[in-house]
Structure 1
Amino acid sequence: MNQSPQFRPLLALAALLLLAACGGRSDPPPLQGATMGGPINLIGGDGRRVSDSQFAGRYRIVYFGFTFCPDVCPVDLALIGAGLRRFEAEDAARAARVTPIFISVDPARDTPAVVGAYAARFHPRIVALTGSEEEVAQVARRYAIYYQRQPPAQPGGAYLVDHSRQIVLYGPEGEPIAILPHDQGIDAFVAELRRWVR
């Protein structure tokens, strides 16, 4: 069949789109080149020191929050737990390469035992971490997390901690890959895991 010259560019564009749709081209991760992440040296739920080197070669879902959080943190951790369970059911081998990590921004109340028991309610593989005020502040800065303890409503009463709300997927070398959606439901969350975890 003879092709008219004016249609050749359109055919070439169609071929490129077809290749992209079939996986012939992959887009770079949204957070590629971002300066976030880095060393971790905190205390796990069992009271032992945990270092980022223990996660080498594994993808990490990193989330900062606190156990006394009345609404946002339990919702997000429930999403992480449910999303990981679904991913495990779909593709156990790839899901096994993902380590979910919960880091407390309220070390004054969140002792190792407290964060460990809290995180286990959402998924048995969540690594719960805490530490001293200084240690947590250092890690939060590296991971581009804002948090600020608020004064209690009444003297001696309970207080809240304002903090960034983001669930971030990091790669096997600790590189930031993507912010996982917390507000689009489990399907969108799992779709991002499928997309980026190899």
Structure 2
Amino acid sequence: MTRVYAILAGVAVIALLGVTYFLAQRGGADGDQFAQCRGGAVAGGEGAIGGPFTLVSETGETVTEEDVIDKPSLIYFGYTFCPDVCPIDNARNVAAVEMLEERGEDVKPVFITVDPERDTVEVMREFTDAFHPDLLGLTGSEEQVKAATTAYRAFSSKQDSDDPDYYLVDHSTFTYLTLPEHGFVEFFRRDDTAEQMADRVQCYLDAS
């Protein structure tokens, strides 16, 4: 009986290897040029994230997604009054961009507010200038910001507060990699380091 189980187990392993090989071959046939770079799967596929938006830049200009994603970009949604998470994440993103710059790559860091009520053009400019001269801050009307967050599946929720000027905003903390020719291609979590981000972004740049 033990021998029978061993034979069946061997057959199962061979079958599994065959299925794995078939799926790998099929994945290559689908033409995913970034397969070797991907760090995670997105429900609905990469095409389910990203899309048109109209916002206002930190210089007061109205911009669209075509203006913003004119080069490889790392997009993060947060707000300037965020006590800790947003400054840390933006600093990490900027560090990744600087590492890529040392490799000769030009990647744009982007910060889109989820708190347009307080994050005016002037506030956004002062915040981004403290991190990096190329960090682009974007704000807009409530409707414009909502459209952008919806396009990227970014979550945000204003907390109740007795003081209308002092409140916190719960929000998702993903950073999105976008490429001009492809749109959204990858996301990064908070536990990804600057080095890890730079290496994965480099993989996408090399494959594009």
TM-score, length basis structure 1? 0.78
The separation in 1 between residues aligned to 2:34 and 2:55, in whole angstroms, is 35
Per the alignment, residue 45 of structure 1 pairs with 58
| Equivalent residues in 2 for 1:91-170, closer than 5 Å | 92=104, 95-96=105-106, 98-152=107-161, 154-156=162-164, 158-170=166-178
Judged with a 3 Å threshold, the aligned counterparts in structure 2 of structure 1 residues 55 and 157 are, in CA distance, closer, same or farther, namely closer
Q: How far 1:52 moved relative to its partner?
A: 1.4
Q: Distance in 2 between matches of 1:33 and 1:78?
A: 26
Q: Deviations over 1:8-57 (max 9, x none)?
A: xxxxx9xx9xxxxxxxx862645553411111211111111111122455
Letter in 1 for 2:65: D
Give yes or no for the alignment of 1:74 onto 2:87: yes
- Determine the C-alpha separation between the residues in 2 that align with 1:193 and 1:26: 11
Tell me which amino acid in the other structure corresponds to 2:185: I
User: Does structure 2 conserve the Cα–Cα contact (< 8 Å) formed by 1:60 and 1:171?
Assistant: yes
Give the letter aligned to residue 99 of structure 1.
K
Give the letter aligned to residue 203 of structure 2. Answer: R
- The residue identity in structure 1 corresponding to 2:177 is L
Q: CA deviation at 1:82?
A: 1.0
Residue in 1 aligned with 2:78?
65
> AA paired with 1:138?
A
Q: Secondary structure at the match of 2:46?
A: coil
Report what 2:197 is aligned to. Answer: 189
TM-score, normalised on structure 2? 0.75
8 Å Cα contact 1:146/1:163 also seen in 2: yes
Aligned to 1:10: none
Match for 1:36: what amino acid?
I
Q: Which runs of 4+ in 1 moved over 3 A?
A: 28-34, 154-157
Q: Secondary structure, in 3 states, of the residue corresponding to 1:183? A: coil
Number of equivalent positions = 173
- Whole-angstrom distance in 1 between the partners of 2:150 and 2:114: 11
Mapped contact 2:91–2:131 kept (Cα < 8 A): yes
Q: CA RMSD in A?
A: 2.4
Relative distance call for 1:132 and 1:174 in structure 2 (3 A) is farther
In 2, are the aligned partners of 1:167 and 1:180 still within 8 Å (CA)?
yes
% same residue: 32
Matches within 5 A, 1:19-38: 27=35, 29=38, 30-31=41-42, 33-38=46-51
